[in-house]
Amino acid sequence: MFIPKISIERLSPGLYGWQVSCSEEVMDRDAGDTSIADCLDHAVDVIPPNVALVEIVYCDAHMATMPVNAVRDKAMEVARQIKSLHSALVETA
């Protein structure tokens, strides 16, 4: 079973890009969103409806593997968790 991956990168302050891939194959990508939550909203729409889990990577760091529905329903909350976790990782590096 392959779990799709949403990869989000901060391109510049207030500008993000995302990519959805599965088994190294890029399913879709875009750049120009203004928040992590917007990236999650757009990226999760690419994932087929029969997929239960998605891996989330932010700035090349694994943030979580979680249910697709949780990402779809609570993108703002997931984005806050990503920012918090990434900040903690950067501070300890």
Distance, in Å, from the CA atom of 54 to the CA atom of 90, rounded to the nearest integer, reads: 23
In this structure, how many other beta carbons lie within 10 angstroms of the beta carbon of residue 54?
24
- Specify the amino acid at residue 41: D
* pLDDT tens, residue by residue, 20-72: 999 889 999 999 999 999 999 999 999 998 999 999 999 999 999 999 999 99
pLDDT for position 93: 58
Domain segments of the chain as ranges: 5-92
DSSP character at residue 52:
-
